[in-house]
Amino acid sequence: MVKSVLGVVGGSGVYDLPGLENAEWVWVESPWGDASDSVRIGYIDGLKTVFLPRHGRGHVHSPSTINYRANIDVLKRCGVTDLVSVSACGSLREDLAPGMFVLVDQFIDRTFSREKSFFGSGFVAHVSVAAPISPNLADSIEKAAKAEGLSYHRGGTYLVMEGPQFSSLAESELYRSWGCDVIGMTNMPEAKLAREAEICYASIAMITDYDSWHPDHGSVDIKAIVKVLHENASNAQRLVSRLAKDFPKERPACPVGSDTALDHAVLTAPDARDPELVSKLDAVARRILVQA
């Protein structure tokens, strides 16, 4: 069993929680560059909780300019074992209405201008993301949603688009034909990098709109999205706060191997590894580097 540290990445409605004790903003250096912001570290019922504003306070980073590698590296350096992503998404299904939470379990990555791996030339590794969501963490989120009486849906595929523009009607209809359930811009490569860092990951998609496919809603309206986000902020706070209060202080092994993803992933022989890249992986790959 490993001592749990809960990480949360999302917006101001998530990290500004009542009940967070001894909270302080801490800047953490990363060899991968600057993270989106400082992290806010505090305790909820004795559980260390680390919050990172994905877009930075004041929303200064677009989905394409977020330094996802630095963000995950910083959370790893803070000891995060389980990471919850909270993000605004569009719905690609009639029954997933604005205001609902969707606990997704799969992704389709359509991003194309982001750094997607900590590994590369001089240190090659291939992790599996067949099951990108850690089921134990998703179970805990579902229990928290039930306890708070929130409207949620368990399961679904999140189409991650590059952005920052919203979908064309043709794109929206294409993604619906693929069987996707929600669409957003931020969970990739975040989920892939969390897996490389051996952090259990789960995603809460907050539905804000019907993307551009719905005949009764037309194109996406950013004002309407912000309105739904503000209205739903208290629900997001309740969900995350309850999750932290009820979260196990010690985490069992992940059923899909999120916490041991690097065990058989590295192909580069120890004597052939690039020392500079190895030094940058001191947090992400610490467990296997110590064993080497």
Helix and strand numbers, DSSP H then E, in the chain: 8, 13
Predicted confidence (pLDDT) per residue in 31-44, tens digit? 999 999 999 999 99
In percent, the amount of the chain with pLDDT more than 90 equals 86
Which fold is adopted by the domain 2-291? Rossmann fold (3.40.50)
Residue 217, annotated as binding a ligand? no
Strand partners, 120: 123
Give CB contacts under 8 A, 24+ apart, made by 171-175: 171/212, 172/92, 172/211, 172/212, 172/213, 173/213, 175/92, 175/108, 175/211
Provide the sign of the torsion angle of the four alpha carbons 7, 9, 13, 15, taken in this order: positive
Predicted confidence (pLDDT) per residue in 73-121, tens digit? 999 999 999 999 999 999 999 999 999 999 999 999 999 999 999 999 9
Spatial distance between the Cα atoms of 79 and 283, rounded to a whole number of angstroms: 9
Identify whether the C-beta of residue 225 lies closer than 8 Å to the C-beta of residue 211.
Answer: no
Q: Token digits for 129?
A: 């993301």
Residue 263, annotated as binding a ligand? no
What pLDDT is stored for residue 37 in this prediction?
A: 98
| Residue of higher predicted confidence among 179 and 219 | 179
Q: Per-residue pLDDT for 215 more than 80?
A: no
What pLDDT is stored for residue 232 in this prediction?
A: 81
The one catalytic residue in 37, 73, 109, 209 is 209
The band of 228, judged by pLDDT with boundaries at 50, 70 and 90, is: confident
The one catalytic residue in 95, 211, 271, 282 is 211
Spell out the domain ranges in the chain.
2-291
* Tokens 């910083």 found at: 74
Spatial distance between the Cα atoms of 159 and 247, rounded to a whole number of angstroms: 28
Residue 109, annotated as binding a ligand? no
Spatial distance between the Cα atoms of 98 and 282, rounded to a whole number of angstroms: 41
Residue 87, annotated as binding a ligand? yes
> Any idea what the Cα angle at residue 97 is, between residues 93 and 103, rounded to 5°?
80
| Cα dist from 143 to 28, 72, 166, whole Å | 32, 26, 32
Predicted confidence (pLDDT) per residue in 163-198, tens digit? 999 999 999 999 999 999 999 999 999 999 999 999
CB atoms within 10 A of CB 254: 22
Q: Residue 191: CB partners within 8 Å, gap ≥ 6?
A: 85, 107, 129, 132, 133, 201, 203
Residue 202, annotated as binding a ligand? no
CA nearest to 236, candidates 209, 208, 211: 208
Q: Give pTM, 2 decimals.
A: 0.95
User: Does residue 209 carry a catalytic annotation?
Assistant: yes
User: Does residue 216 carry a catalytic annotation?
Assistant: no
